């Protein structure tokens, strides 16, 4: 009987390493258009400058290539099983990174150490507890622009149009209601302050997600400009 050949980890390196950073795939993320896979951080940074796959050069998306990314958790588990100690090393580096970079002034805390997940059931429990905070969702970049109205008083314009950073990146599942809360916090407005959020001049409902708005309002209107622009203003009472 022929002896079984023992495979070394390096025999699989071409399948489990990132062509961009040459390291093991960390949070392996596939481009759905061509199925090439990279580290999540590598491909997200690449798509900030380009909309083409770094492996094959195919145009992934005309305006928002981040929509075409999907995490491959099955491959992630295979890599962690093939490479001893990789999971623990990555988790420790993440903890140390947040410990060094957390903002004491804002009272932000880094993530708590994660236990090693032993099953899909553990993943489901973490999701139910909200531990992921939509970080694994497709991301979208948007511009929040103040819609100036001649009927507004000068003081009102200054208060509402005082957003310092107009460009943000967030989950495509974020709703207009959440955007309104974000604006109230950043503009230091009372939580009861009423704002309208518009896309292409149309007022968006509070339950509309950014993905819904992008697909049904922004992209279909023929706008090829990226990022998507949402305008906001104090609510106008038409009654």
Q: Is residue 120 part of a domain?
A: no
Is the pTM higher than 0.75?
no
Residue pLDDT, tens place only, 118-149:
334 444 444 455 455 556 678 888 999 888 76
Answer whether residue 13 shows pLDDT above 90.
no
Give the rounded percent of residues in the chain with a pLDDT score beyond 90: 21
Domain of residue 64, CATH code: 3.30.40.10
Looking at residue 150, its pLDDT comes to 57
Q: What is the pLDDT of residue 102?
A: 67
Q: Which residue has the higher pLDDT, 67 or 221?
A: 67
89 shares its domain with 172: no
Report residue 139: phi and psi, to 5°.
Answer: -105, 155
226 belongs to a structural domain:
yes
Statement: residue 4 has pLDDT above 70: no
Mean pLDDT of 192-200: 89
Domain assignment present for residue 239? The answer is: no
Statement to judge: residues 77 and 143 lie in one domain: no
144 and 212 in a single domain? The answer is yes
Instruction: Answer yes or no: is pLDDT of 163 > 60.
Output: yes
Instruction: Let me know whether 18 and 83 are in one domain.
Output: yes
Question: Which has the higher per-residue pLDDT, 202 or 106?
Answer: 202
> pLDDT at position 38, please?
94
Q: Which residues of 98-130 are buried (b: 16+ CB within 10 A; e: fewer)?
A: eeeeeeeeeeeeeeeeeeeeeeeeeeeeeeeee
157 burial level (CB within 10 Å; 0-12, 13-18, 19+):
middle
- Lowest-confidence segment of 168-172, 221-225, 233-237 by average pLDDT: 221-225
Do 143 and 223 share a domain, yes or no?
yes
Among candidate residues 181, 170, 183, 182, the one with its CA nearest the CA of residue 213: 170
Is 143 in the same domain as 86? no
Are residue 86 and residue 173 in the same domain, yes or no? no
DSSP structure string for 29-98: EEETTT--EEEHHHHHHHHTT-SB-TTT--B--SS-GGGGEEE-HHHHHHHHHHSTTHHHHHHHHHHHHH
pLDDT of residue 230: 92
Whether 165 is covered by a domain: the verdict is: yes
| Same domain? 80 vs 143 | no
CA angle 122, 124, 126 (to 5 degrees): 70
> Mean of the per-residue pLDDT values for the chain?
78
* pLDDT value at 82 more than 60: yes
User: Coil, strand, or helix at residue 10?
Assistant: helix
In a domain, 198, yes or no: yes
In a domain, 134, yes or no: no
CATH code assigned at 188: 3.10.20.90
Whether residues 78 and 143 share a domain: the answer is: no
- How many domains would you assign to the chain? 2
Give residue 171's domain range.
139-148+160-234
99 lies in some domain: no
Examine the pLDDT at 80 and tell me if it is beyond 80: yes
Work out the average pLDDT over 200-212: 89
Of 94, 112, 127, the position where a domain reaches its end is: 94
């Amino acid at each position: 009987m022929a002896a079984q050949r023992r495979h070394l980890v390096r025999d699989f390196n071409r399948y489990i390493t990132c062509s961009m950073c040459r390291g093991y795939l960390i949070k392996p993320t596939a481009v759905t258009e061509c199925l090439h896979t990279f580290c999540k951080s590598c491909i997200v940074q690449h798509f900030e400058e380009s909309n083409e796959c770094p492996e094959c050069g195919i145009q992934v998306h005309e305006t928002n290539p981040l929509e075409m990314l999907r995490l491959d958790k099955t491959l992630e588990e295979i890599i962690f099983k093939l490479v001893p100690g990789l999971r623990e090393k990555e988790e420790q580096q993440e903890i140390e990174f947040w410990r060094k970079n957390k903002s004491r002034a804002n009272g932000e805390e880094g993530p708590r150490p994660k236990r090693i997940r032993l099953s899909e059931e553990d993943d489901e429990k973490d999701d139910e507890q909200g531990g992921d905070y939509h970080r694994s969702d497709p991301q979208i970049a948007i511009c929040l622009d103040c819609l100036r109205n001649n009927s507004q008083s000068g003081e009102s314009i200054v208060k509402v149009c005082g957003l310092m950073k107009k460009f943000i990146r967030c989950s495509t599942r974020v709703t207009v209601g959440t955007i309104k809360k974000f604006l109230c916090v950043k503009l230091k407005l009372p939580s009861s302050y009423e704002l309208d959020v518009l896309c292409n001049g149309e007022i968006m409902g509070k339950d509309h997600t950014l993905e819904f708005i992008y697909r049904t309002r922004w992209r279909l209107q023929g706008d090829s400009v990226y990022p998507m622009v949402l305008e906001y203003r104090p609510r106008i009472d038409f009654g």
